Amino acid sequence: MTTELIDTAQSITGHRFSDAQLLIRAFTHASVAGSRQESNERMEFLGDSVLGLVCCEMIYSIYPDLLEGEMTKIKSTVVSRQTCATIARELGLHKLLILGKGMLSQRELPQSLAAATVESIIAALYLDAGIDPVRIFLRPLLEPMIRRAAASGHQENFKSVLQQHAQLTFGESPVYTVLDEKGPDHAKCFEICVEIGDRRFPACWGQSKKQAEQQAALLALSELGLVDQTGDSIRMMKAAQAIDPCP
């Protein structure tokens, strides 16, 4: 079992450990350890901080124009128990846990236990060889989550940013107008445009009024020169950044 655990963990992380005992400790739950100091709890503590560091490095590098508040929002979304549990289950790390009989009798492991395996394996990597293998292990896992979190955060704020900009610059509030709708009642799509004063911006379709309004706000921000869109990337320009969308 021990040899199988070590081989599987090394295959998952892509790192050959100099000290294989670190892997045993990383998967030893308190329910089977001789003492809590011999379990993976201390490694969870360390791994949580190392995970946060790597995530912050990536956000800082991927989005050089984001402000502190926006970066903090992305980090809080990505570095969470739910995210760690999802990663653990996708990689199969939770299956490597060494548990006491009482824990083994449970039909499904608590999310916190699955999440702990990610934090403890990160600590094992860090203690064995420093930060570089941690970066190599985490980057392909975290980057899609970071980009999704960043995109989601922007979408929630498009209307807010446009509202503040319109009021400060034009003394007007944006008005969202439904131009058309189609589809059955349970799956309607809406075409919506936004107007500020006597200026109408390009319309767009959405699968709900809320979605269409957000996208209409994005089009207006783009036409006003406050947003730069390149492929899937959305970058707030300086004029928009001056209006804090996260008060």
Q: What is the pLDDT of residues 188-232, one digit of tens each?
A: 889 999 999 999 999 988 878 888 898 899 899 888 888 765 544
Question: Which of the residues 44, 119, 128, 213 is marked catalytic?
Answer: 119
Q: Stretch 114-123: mean pLDDT, rounded?
A: 92
- 72 with 23, same domain: the answer is yes
Q: Stretch 94-116: mean pLDDT, rounded?
A: 75
Q: What is the pLDDT of residue 117?
A: 92
Q: How confident is the model at residue 73 (pLDDT cuts 50, 70, 90)?
A: confident
Q: Stretch 139-160: mean pLDDT, rounded?
A: 80
Q: Stretch 48-60: mean pLDDT, rounded?
A: 96
Domain of residue 194 covers: 151-241
Dihedral of CA atoms 210, 213, 218, 223 in degrees, nearest 10, equals 180
Among 125, 149, 173, identify where a domain stops: 149
Distances, alpha carbon 247 to alpha carbons 70, 78, 142, 160, 181, in Å: 11, 21, 27, 10, 34
Number of structural domains (the chain) is 2
Residue 219 lies in a domain: yes
With a CB cutoff of 8 Å and minimum separation 6, the contacts of 27 are 5, 9, 40, 96, 97, 98, 117, 120, 121
The enclosing domain of 18 has a CATH number of 1.10.1520.10
**pTM recorded for the entire structure:** 0.62
- 14 with 126, same domain: the answer is yes
Among 89, 124, 149, identify where a domain stops: 149
How far from the centroid of its chain's Cα atoms is residue 205's Cα?
27
Write the DSSP symbol of residue 185: G
Using a 10 angstrom Cβ sphere, with 0-12 exposed, 13-18 middle and 19 or more buried, the burial of residue 186 is exposed
Q: What is the pLDDT of residue 233?
A: 46
Q: Is 48 a catalytic residue?
A: yes
CA distance 130 to 139: 15
Handedness of CA 66, 70, 72, 73 (dihedral sign): negative
Tokens of 6: 């070590």
Question: Which of the residues 44, 48, 70, 213 is marked catalytic?
Answer: 48
Task: Please name the residue that has the structure tokens 């709890």.
Answer: 41
Q: Stretch 28-47: mean pLDDT, rounded?
A: 84
- Lowest-confidence pick of 27-36, 75-84, 99-108: 99-108
Q: How confident is the model at residue 241 (pLDDT cuts 50, 70, 90)?
A: very low
Q: How confident is the model at residue 77 (pLDDT cuts 50, 70, 90)?
A: confident
- 110 with 162, same domain: the answer is no
- 144 with 160, same domain: the answer is no
Q: Is 90 a catalytic residue?
A: no
State phi, psi for 240 to the nearest 5 degrees: -75, -35
- 77 with 143, same domain: the answer is yes
Residue 195 lies in a domain: yes
Most trustworthy range by pLDDT among 5-9, 29-33, 163-167: 5-9
Q: Stretch 62-88: mean pLDDT, rounded?
A: 86
CA distance 55 to 12: 19
| Average pLDDT of the chain to the nearest whole number | 84
240 has pLDDT over 60: no
9 has pLDDT over 90: yes
Q: What is the pLDDT of residue 105?
A: 59
- 15 with 123, same domain: the answer is yes
Tokens of 3: 């040899």
